[in-house]
Amino acid sequence: MSDIVHAFFAGRDRAEKPLNKDEQQADQFQQGAAWVEAVLVPAVKQANEQMQGSGAALRLDLNLDHRSTNHPHCDFWFVQTDSPSGQGYDGPKYSINVTGQGDIWLYKSGAPGRTLGTISAVGPNEIRALLREAAQEYGALYRAE
| DSSP characters over 70-123 | SS-EEEEEEEE---TTS-PPB---EEEEEETTTEEEEEETTEEEEEEEETTT--
pLDDT at 96: 96
Beta bridge partners of 61: 75
* Count of other CB atoms within 10 angstroms of residue 116: 17
Q: What three-state secondary structure class fits 21? A: helix
pLDDT at 4: 77
Residue 68 DSSP one-character state: T
Q: Are 41 and 63 in contact (CB under 8 A)?
A: no
Q: What is the pLDDT along the chain (145 residues), one digit of tens a residue?
A: 667 777 777 777 766 666 566 666 667 888 999 999 999 999 999 999 999 989 899 999 999 988 888 899 999 999 988 876 556 678 899 999 999 889 999 999 888 999 999 999 999 999 999 999 999 999 888 765 4
Q: What is the pTM of this model?
A: 0.77
